[in-house]
Structure 1
Amino acid sequence: MAKEEDNVQLKETDMNHDTDDQRKKPLTNETYVDVEEEKEKLFHYDVFENPPVVMTFVFAIQQVLMSLSRSLSTALLVADIVCARTDENFKARLLSTTLFISGITTFLQNTIGVRLPLYQGPAMTYLVPLLAMSTLPEWRCPDLAVQIGSSTVVNTTDFPAISNVTTKILYDNADTLDKVQRLEGSLMIAGAIHMLVGLTGVVGLLINFIGPVTIVPALTVIGIYIYKATTKFAKTQWGVSLLTVVIAMILSFYLRKRRSPLPVWSPKRGFRIIWFPLHQMFSVLISCIIGWVVSAILTSCNLISNDPSNDSYYARTDSRLDVIQETNWFILPYPGQFGPPGFDTGALITFLMGTISSIIDSIGDYYACAKVCEAPPPPKHAANRGIAIEGFMSFIGGWSGASHATSTFGGNIGAIGITKVASLRVFQLVGIIFTVFGVIGKVGAVFVTIPYSVIGGMMMINFGMLIGVMLSNLQFIDLASSRNLAIIGMSILMAMMMPYWVQTTPNAIDTGIPTLNSIFTMFLANPAFVSFVLACFMDNTIPGTDDERGLTAWKASMGVEKESGEKEESTQDEIRLRKLKQTIYIVPFSKQLARRFTCLRYLPFFPKND
């Protein structure tokens, strides 16, 4: 009823304006009014809105294309760690497991978890410590290359090779399975602890100490360090990467006030043209397709190097076609597929370090996503539930042999700000698509052949938007306060210094205990962890008022509380806020369950339906 009243008001307003559209036919004028309604909205499809089925599918594919490359690179890195680089069957099953786990986690997170439009994919915070651990003698792989004749070909790129036909690789399959099984049991324990952190409400307690002064340094440092991964992909073909960025920027921002003509037909109204912001909603998908087509043209003209040892080789559209051939049609991942779980103390410590980093990253992404969606910040019960879901699926991922957990992806959050599509339904479908890709191997393999240069362009778009959103939290902070400036500046500086010191100083940490050295090294090498801990500690220990710290304005902007003397929100804002509160952070049927089982209200992760 409220939406119909809004439509009536918009139509009446439109009739009072002397525009060229008054000379149009009533049918066309009515369509124009509908477009004006879209123009007034913050999003083309808000968090609580459900696009038409076909558009929902296309929106979901757009988000999927931004995330598939991480799944492929993660599977290849894990294969390297367990000494199975050339075992194509193992890699295919590992990739399917990664896609399958990511899909289920994404669906659960958007349905009963934190209920923000988020994608949950392979967590790099787990792989970085694993890569460091793989250099230890008991985890080191045998020599990969055996010289054939008088020459040996070595892959000199920054990317793991799918295969190398000129090099003979020797692996011990039993040793590979033993390593996978030890990672299984260790990740299951770390996942169980991860889940308990959410179920017991520890995350909710941590949120009490988080404000803009804590969020800005932690998330900004993450954005700063993303440039390395982005450059690694974009440098394969800078022209294609920049073309992808330019097209997306033009469609999303330069033409944001324009509408695309869209021919439609219906039995009642016949054929007609409606004006719709199609180019902005699908800007990332359109730029990806154009970049892919241009890469195909450059490949067919042989304008991109076909030498696998050259970085630009991965900008070719045929550089990884063998993935499609080597992937089975159907692969069903299941717990224990690589054998019974084992255990390794070093792996457990490594995964526990990854767990701490993952929790911090996820909390930051929850706030970033809420900011992009113009939604209230996540309450304690929602954050607890989100972390619990992550931990549970980390446990399942370990049992299935994935050797990694899942975490939120910042790039997909940035895409929401670009496309103005924040529908929960879209991200639920993203989870279903990833699950299907995990079972139908060849379908997923087709999409992972996207040229690296196109992926680099999409990363530049999405992470650039994400960094901007992170910095927007500065508007709530009193930047005239030397207290705030010192906290933010010191946190960012130390977060950049510590990883640099660890990387450039041999044996930077030497306690006399190798395991303890690894723990301190991993923590100090993580810029997000360093900046978060320092900023949180200083913000909560150095005296400062809520106004000075930005807490009052921050909460007021998110609809949590109003500043004194602030005028009431407009009717449209009130309607949207009410719908948001009925959608995000609230699990379906939680009210009915609370009435039936009143004890559930005391659980830290159960929704508080006030």
Structure 2
Amino acid sequence: MANSEPDKKPRPGPWPPAPDSAAMPPSSWAKRTGFRPKFSGETNASNSDQMTSLPPPQPSLPKPKQPDTSLDIEAGRPRPGPDSNGEAVARDRAKEKENAKELTPPVRKLRQSDGGKNLAANGGEGSRRAARGEEVVAVDVPHQSVLDDDDYVARHSHMKYELRDSPGLVPIGLYGFQHFLSMLGSLILIPLVIVPAMGGTYEDTADVVSTVLFISGVTTLLHVSFGSRLPLIQGPSFVYLAPALAIINSPEFLGLKGNNFKHIMKELQGAIIIGSAFQTFLGYSGLMAIFLRLINPVVVAPTIAAVGLSFYSYGFPRLGACIEIGVLQILLVVIFSLYLRKISILGHRVFLIYAVPLGLFITWCTSFLLTESGVYSYKGCDTNIPASNIISDHCRRHVSRMKYCRVDTNHALSASPWFRFPYPLQWGMPVFHLKMALVMCVVSVIAAVDSVSQSSLPPTAGVLSRGIGLEGLTSILAGVWGTGTGSTTLTENVHTIAVTKMGSRRAVQLGACVLIVLSLVGKVGGFIASIPEVMVAALLCFMWAMLTALGLSNLRYSEAGSSRNIIIVGLSLFLSLSVPAYFQQYGLSPNSNLSVPSYFQPYIVASHGPIATTSGGVNYVVNTLLSLHMVIAFLVALILDNTVPGSKQERGVYVWSEAEAARREADVCKDYQLPFRVGTIFRWVKWVGL
């Protein structure tokens, strides 16, 4: 008998394989590209052409046929026949194998690189597909896109508050103020550079700072409500700083007498308005969404990195005017942001979030104590006397330390009124010149590319175009009010949200309202304008280094170890430094007396560049654009990345979600749809609606 001879029993068969280990949830750009890292257990690259469209129903697999000699494990004897229990056991095992392959670990995901499968929120019957004739119901699942220390990842537990959460007025107010305070450097440092370069006084600097705060608050409200609808702060971008300095140092402005500030500001306003109008057209016409098919992480990384590297000639040379204060400022920010970054107080990483404000406060207090103790006071020398009128050699040797190390030489705070309302055209009617407008048109394209790279979810083409178009409109507002730069999404947003774990758009909206109120207090602008220039230069060294690192970090969404990508990025970065250096040094003799400081020398290339045609406008545009580091990096990377063969995973190709599939996802609709049912009006517009 089979029961008495267990040695002759055939084996019941192998046990079903264990389920695969959970793959690491891809971050935002991986969602767009379909990138699957090899260390996640998935070695095959996914087809990035399949994103969010729901897969068609697939027929169930045929039941596996078992041999007639299959055993009943419980009874221990063979039971032949199609209806035997042995075949039922085999069918159960086959189902277990199929479920082990289909079921995923209970990690919440939203539109991953799985071809668009709508996985269940709780990891249960996630692989069940709707049968024919069965109605597909969209379930309102909370938004799963959250942040870790680097970027958005799909883990709900990592986020304190999601995009649509409203935890209450007090928490929202505190988080909103914290969000804007942590980005203080990005908001206020650009006016502290360009206004003195235009010949403006401390009072002019205070007025421009107040205007920047006002416009940043207004444009942030507009974008969070009617643009991309993501909790991203709008403000003056470093992308606009280099072209603004190039326009400020144009040859026609070098011989101006009188109030140079208002005259140059009106020229700058005209260029910004035209360039922003061009960006608005690209956005709302849908042309930018088509152009961005050519933009990949391999293009974005060197372009944004070149923006930070381009100001190396301004940073430390400006800081060296008072070396002890400048170095102290850099050391404090580095210590707070690196060595003390993991210290948490009441659940907040205070030193990491407030590294810039804390470093500025301590350095300012130190400089104040040194000034009051007489360290920077020299017998017989007066800080109020212009350097050109100082006769004593003793005072001339110390004029730099008296001007840049002391904190009482700036009277912007005392001269500022308590209330001041920034109004449009406050500097006069803008002046429009075609050559300056063309420069800003090219820069606006790069600014749009920078902004798009910061989206958390893969948006539809309509949402993308809507955000870029509204960014152009808000930059027009910045030009009309006269901030000196366009308004774009600040690059540091992703880092700030990752640390604070606050993803609620209501916090950013309330913070923007607070920013508008602060802009009406003239003393706030005066206080910011009174920051010593050496401290500004030290903070800029840190901010530009951060910008460079954030740009290069985009390479992690492509195959950074690929020889193709290494050569493209390396060549783009090197040429972005070398080609502008050729244009900036062309025609200059070593002993020539320049009319601008040495740190502004790279921006006077329009007067001596190598391009010399019969058209002065063409000479100005070409010499200026080819002297900008970010333009060279963008052009080289764009051409090489789109002409050198490479797989989509290797390049990190962007893939935008499809509109119809996005409308079937409740989370996407609630995240991106316009409020107050405005979206229903624009649904028919392909490049504006969802």
- On whether the aligned pair clears a TM of 0.5, the verdict is yes
Judging by fraction of residues, say which structure has more helix.
1
Amino acid at match of 1:520: V
- Greater Rg by CA: 2
Q: Per-residue CA shift, 1:377-417, capped at 9, x if unaligned? A: 55533442333223223333333355543334435655555
Structure 2: distance between partners of 1:128 and 1:463:
12
Structure 1: distance between partners of 2:233 and 2:485:
16
Assess if the C-alpha contact under 8 Å between 2:216 and 2:234 holds in 1.
yes
Amino acid at match of 2:301: V
Q: Cα distance, 1:477 vs. partner?
A: 3.1
TM-aligned CA distance change 1:214 to 1:224, over 3 Å: same
Quote the residue 2:181 is aligned against.
Answer: 61
Quote the residue 1:213 is aligned against.
Answer: 298
Structure 2 residue aligned with 1:501, among 574, 578, 582?
Answer: 582
Q: Per-residue CA shift, 1:537-563, capped at 9, x if unaligned? A: 221122221122233xx87xxx979xx
TM-aligned CA distance change 1:236 to 1:183, over 3 Å: closer
Structure 2: distance between partners of 1:236 and 1:579:
57
Alignment of 1:275-286 (within 5 A): 277-286=349-358
Q: TM-score, normalised by structure 1?
A: 0.68
SS, match of residue 407 in structure 2: coil
* Aligned: 1:485 with 2:566: yes
* Aligned: 1:202 with 2:284: no
Quote the residue 2:551 is aligned against.
Answer: 470
Structure 2: distance between partners of 1:380 and 1:238:
50
TM-aligned CA distance change 1:42 to 1:520, over 3 Å: farther
SS, match of residue 418 in structure 2: coil
Q: Cα distance, 1:206 vs. partner?
A: 1.8
SS, match of residue 335 in structure 1: coil
Q: Cα distance, 1:502 vs. partner?
A: 0.6
Structure 2: distance between partners of 1:47 and 1:285:
26
Structure 2 residue aligned with 1:534, among 636, 643, 654?
Answer: 636
SS, match of residue 334 in structure 1: coil
Amino acid at match of 2:472: G
TM-aligned CA distance change 1:213 to 1:303, over 3 Å: same
Quote the residue 1:293 is aligned against.
Answer: 365
TM-aligned CA distance change 1:539 to 1:337, over 3 Å: same
Assess if the C-alpha contact under 8 Å between 1:195 and 1:390 holds in 2.
yes
Structure 2 residue aligned with 1:101, among 204, 215, 222?
Answer: 215
Structure 1: distance between partners of 2:687 and 2:529:
39
TM-aligned CA distance change 1:541 to 1:115, over 3 Å: same
Quote the residue 2:474 is aligned against.
Answer: 393
Amino acid at match of 2:439: M
* Aligned: 1:600 with 2:683: yes
SS, match of residue 316 in structure 1: coil
Q: Cα distance, 1:461 vs. partner?
A: 4.4
Quote the residue 1:16 is aligned against.
Answer: none
TM-aligned CA distance change 1:48 to 1:283, over 3 Å: farther
TM-aligned CA distance change 1:227 to 1:181, over 3 Å: closer
Assess if the C-alpha contact under 8 Å between 2:272 and 2:440 holds in 1.
no
Structure 2: distance between partners of 1:184 and 1:537:
32
Alignment of 1:74-89 (within 5 A): 74-78=194-198, 80=199, 85=200
Amino acid at match of 1:112: F
Q: Cα distance, 1:425 vs. partner?
A: 4.3
Quote the residue 1:513 is aligned against.
Answer: 615
Structure 2 residue aligned with 1:356, among 442, 461, 474?
Answer: 442
Quote the residue 1:317 is aligned against.
Answer: 407
Structure 2: distance between partners of 1:46 and 1:297:
44
Structure 2: distance between partners of 1:491 and 1:95:
35
Q: Cα distance, 1:104 vs. partner?
A: 1.8
Assess if the C-alpha contact under 8 Å between 1:60 and 1:429 holds in 2.
no
Alignment of 1:262-281 (within 5 A): 262=346, 277-281=349-353
Q: TM-score, normalised by structure 2?
A: 0.61
CA RMSD of aligned residues (A): 3.9
Assess if the C-alpha contact under 8 Å between 1:233 and 1:455 holds in 2.
no
Assess if the C-alpha contact under 8 Å between 2:319 and 2:326 holds in 1.
yes
Between the aligned residues of both structures, percent identity stands at 26
SS, match of residue 121 in structure 1: strand
Assess if the C-alpha contact under 8 Å between 2:288 and 2:465 holds in 1.
yes
Assess if the C-alpha contact under 8 Å between 1:315 and 1:451 holds in 2.
yes
Q: Per-residue CA shift, 1:441-495, capped at 9, x if unaligned? A: 1122113323344444544444444433332333343355433233222222221
